[in-house]
Structure 1
Amino acid sequence: MTLKLRSAGRSDRGLIRSGNQDALHAGTWLVAVADGMGGMAAGDLASAIAIGAMAPLDVATPEDALVAALQNGILVATDRIRQAVAQDPQREGMGTTLTALLFARTGSCLALAHVGDSRAYLFREGVLKQITRDDTFVQLLVDQGLITPDQAGSHPRRAVVTQALQGDEVKPTYATMLPRAGDRWLLCSDGLSNVVRADTLAEVLAETVDRDACAARLIDLALRAGAPDNVTVVVADVVDED
């Protein structure tokens, strides 16, 4: 059995924002979502820099080199964002989230890198599980037992991230997992996860087999919910091509 990754991605500026500061990569070996922040059009630059730094990783990579490849990509992104801020002081404070998944050339392993509040979900055997943990102020409150996860969803400071790629030192989360045929991954910016319930995400992932149609349907649900933020979705399936 040879497992492969097949992906599709879509992005929409939403109904409120004047531009789209999200960026994505939906490739053969790599999928990634970045959600930029910062004024003066710097957010879209930061997310584009992050995806541009990660895109060269979309190659057949040995499983023992996956995490190192992701770490290097983040170092490159961090350095390029630092340089961009140095070139124009008005970009100070710009940054981006990054959630990226890299599939091994053997199909036997995958690695995940995460910083910020974009998310990676795994839909496996009918069950949706959030794999990443949000780097946000409200997640810290949840961890401390001060608010519930439901309260976090409507908290006035839910958009405050505790770390992002901003050109300085950052501590991303890395993980490795064993893929299974039939796994479906959803990577998304908070423009989706903040307005569409997890049980609805699971329903769409289960019912919409075509990846591009699934991504389009998820974005449509965010738009119907008011889409106050940019919405970016990548749907990636683990398939057995033997």
Structure 2
Amino acid sequence: MPLVFRYAARSDVGLVRQGNEDSGFASDNLLIVADGMGGHVAGEMASATVTAILAGLPIAESEDVLTQLADAVDEAQLEMRHIIAEQPDFQGMGTTVTVVCWQGDRASLAHVGDSRAYMLRDGELLRLTKDHTYVQTLVDAGQITEEEAATHRRRNLLIRAIDGVNTVEPDLSIREVHAGDRIMLCTDGLSGVLRDEEILQLLSRSDPPGAVTALVEAAIERGAPDNVTCVVADVAQVDDPPVGNRPVVVGAAAEPRTRSQLPGVDFPQDSQPVDTPE
């Protein structure tokens, strides 16, 4: 029997920021989160641009998804370069991106920055990505522990991002997926305030909409100093795959003002924007 995604997504501005620079997307074969930076409007444009480019990929027709994902990251980099050239005030814009693309029984991942992808399998939480941060290099070198990294004063310093300036190579990988797996993508507004043990507990609850709500609300209860975006998808085995599930768009990418400014890129026509709670 074929495998399908059953998904939900939510984005919240949090309790401190004035605007939401995160974007998220979920469809039958694609999950995306992106965390923009560089100021309110610039960050919105950055995350929405990379999300729109990835969301428009013809995944079902591709025989080499990893190359397709890497090319899309390059396209987003070039698009932001053009935006900066036309609007110099956007200098310094950038975004993370974490994307999971599903084909058959394989999940292809592309990752830049410190947003994260997790997999819940048989009660165990597996982190599928590694943060591209300064403190992660210290952890890898054995200079600090994971616990020390969580409170390090430079924990938010990225060493890799899509910024329209520097050459960037995404981490690329493939994972086998099984019926019963649950995949979660989030920005650091969630992973930065919840420990993996807490994420495991909350992610294990309910269906994808219930898990998304529990995770985002938990981050808000912790003070939500950053925007919070979460996408959850169950891998399910069904006799007859559902037809016509609408993709879901959240965060900055769901805002009409931002979507109207996307230069030459847009989301699938049947995608459903979800309002960001204020």
TM range (shorter): over 0.9
Aligned residue number for residue 9 of structure 2: 9
Distance 1:219 1:189 in 2: 11
> Which 5+ residue runs of structure 1 have no aligned equivalent?
none
Q: Deviations over 1:107-145 (max 9, x none)?
A: 121200000000000110100011100000000111111
**So what's the TM-score if we normalise by structure 1?**
0.95
Greater Cα offset, 149-158 or 68-77: 68-77
Distance 1:195 1:35 in 2: 15
Aligned residue number for residue 162 of structure 1: 159
Aligned pair partner of 2:199 in 180, 189, 201: 201
Say how many residue pairs are matched: 238
Distance 1:109 1:66 in 2: 10
**So what's the TM-score if we normalise by structure 2?**
0.83
Would the alpha carbon gap of residues 2 and 16 (structure 1) be closer, same or farther in structure 2, given more than 3 Å must change? same
Question: What SS does the corresponding residue of 2:60 show, helix, strand or coil?
Answer: coil
Question: What SS does the corresponding residue of 2:231 show, helix, strand or coil?
Answer: strand
Residue pair 1:30, 1:58 contacting (<8 A) in 2 also: no
Residue pair 2:19, 2:40 contacting (<8 A) in 1 also: no
1:70 Cα offset (Å): 0.7
Distance 1:219 1:58 in 2: 30
Residue identity over aligned pairs, in percent, reads 43
Instruction: Extract structure 1 runs of 4+ deviating beyond 6 A.
Output: none
What letter corresponds to residue 109 of structure 1 in structure 2? Answer: R
> Which 5+ residue runs of structure 2 have no aligned equivalent?
240-278
Question: What SS does the corresponding residue of 1:82 show, helix, strand or coil?
Answer: helix
Question: What SS does the corresponding residue of 1:159 show, helix, strand or coil?
Answer: coil
Q: CA RMSD in A?
A: 1.1
1:59 Cα offset (Å): 4.3
1:224 Cα offset (Å): 0.3
Would the alpha carbon gap of residues 123 and 203 (structure 1) be closer, same or farther in structure 2, given more than 3 Å must change? same
What letter corresponds to residue 182 of structure 2 in structure 1? Answer: R
What letter corresponds to residue 114 of structure 2 in structure 1? Answer: D
What letter corresponds to residue 181 of structure 1 in structure 2? Answer: A
Would the alpha carbon gap of residues 216 and 61 (structure 1) be closer, same or farther in structure 2, given more than 3 Å must change? farther
Greater Cα offset, 196-205 or 13-22: 196-205
